[in-house]
Amino acid sequence: MKIFKRNKENKVEVNESCKTNCISKDLDENIEKIKKELGNPSDIVIKIFEPDNLYGLRYANIYIETLVDKPSINSLSIGMTEILKPKNTIENSTPEEYFRIFRNYFLSFRKSEEDSDFDALFTNLLSGKTILLIDGYDRFISIDIYSTESRSIEEPSTQGVIRGPKEGFIEKTDVNISLVRKRIKNKDLRVENLTLGSVTNTKISLMYIDKIAKNEIIDEIRRRLNEIKIDCILDSGYIEELIKDDRFTFFPELMNSEKPDAIAAALLEGRFAIFVDGSSYVLTAPSLFVDFLQVSEDYYHHFIISTFIRVLRYICTFLALFVPAVYIALLTFHQEMIPTSLLISIAAQRQGVPFPTFVEAMLMEGVFEVLREAGIRMPRVIGPAISIVGALVLGQSAVDAGIVSAAMVIVVSITAISSFVIPNYSMAYAIRLIRFAFMVLAAMFGLFGVFMGIIALTLHLCKLKSIGVPYTTPIAPKTRYGTKDTIIRYPLWLNKTRPAGISGSNSPRVDQDNPVTKKEKENPEFR
Asked whether position 443 contacts another protein by CB under 8 A, the answer is yes
Give the SS3 label for residue 5: strand
Asked whether position 448 contacts another protein by CB under 8 A, the answer is yes
The torsion of the CA quartet 468, 470, 473, 476, rounded to 10 degrees, works out to -150
For the range 32-41, what are the long-range contacts, defined as Cβ-Cβ under 8 Å and sequence gap of 24 or more? 33/118, 34/62, 34/121, 34/122, 34/125, 37/118, 37/122, 38/122, 38/125
CA pair distance 88, 217, nearest whole angstrom: 52
Of 93, 186, 195, 345, which one interacts with another protein (CB under 8 A)?
A: 345
Asked whether position 248 contacts another protein by CB under 8 A, the answer is no
The footprint of another protein on this chain (CB under 8 A) covers a number of residues equal to 25
Of 332, 413, 479, 505, which one interacts with another protein (CB under 8 A)?
A: 332
Of 76, 180, 331, 464, which one interacts with another protein (CB under 8 A)?
A: 331
The torsion of the CA quartet 365, 371, 372, 378, rounded to 10 degrees, works out to 160
Smallest gap from residue 463 Cβ to another protein (A): 16
Please choose, out of 86-94, 208-216, 276-284, 442-450, the segment that lies near another protein by the rule CB under 8 A: 442-450
Of 124, 357, 419, 486, which one interacts with another protein (CB under 8 A)?
A: 357
Please choose, out of 147-155, 184-192, 329-337, 385-393, the segment that lies near another protein by the rule CB under 8 A: 329-337
Asked whether position 454 contacts another protein by CB under 8 A, the answer is no
Of 446, 474, 482, 501, which one interacts with another protein (CB under 8 A)?
A: 446
Please choose, out of 162-170, 221-229, 347-355, 362-370, the segment that lies near another protein by the rule CB under 8 A: 347-355
Distance, CA of 52 to chain centre: 52
Asked whether position 349 contacts another protein by CB under 8 A, the answer is yes
Asked whether position 403 contacts another protein by CB under 8 A, the answer is no
Smallest gap from residue 407 Cβ to another protein (A): 10
Smallest gap from residue 352 Cβ to another protein (A): 8
Asked whether position 313 contacts another protein by CB under 8 A, the answer is no
DSSP per-residue string spanning 315-326:
HHHHHHHHHHHH
Asked whether position 353 contacts another protein by CB under 8 A, the answer is yes
Give the β-pairing of 112-115 and 13-14.
parallel
Computed from CA positions of residues 302, 254, 486, 460, in that sequence, does the dihedral angle turn out positive or negative? positive
Q: Which residues of 293-315 are buried (b: 16+ CB within 10 A; e: fewer)?
A: bbbbbbbebebeebbebbeebee
Of 80, 255, 346, 399, which one interacts with another protein (CB under 8 A)?
A: 346
β-bridge mates for residue 64, sequence order: 44
Asked whether position 309 contacts another protein by CB under 8 A, the answer is no
Give the SS3 label for residue 198: coil
Asked whether position 444 contacts another protein by CB under 8 A, the answer is yes
Of 16, 149, 227, 336, which one interacts with another protein (CB under 8 A)?
A: 336
Distance, CA of 113 to chain centre: 29
Contacts of 305 (CB under 8 A, 6+ apart): none
Smallest gap from residue 464 Cβ to another protein (A): 20
CA pair distance 509, 310, nearest whole angstrom: 22
Asked whether position 348 contacts another protein by CB under 8 A, the answer is yes
Please choose, out of 284-292, 309-317, 341-349, 517-525, the segment that lies near another protein by the rule CB under 8 A: 341-349
Binding residues for another protein, rule: CB under 8 A, are: 331-333, 335-336, 340, 343-353, 356-357, 443-446, 448-449
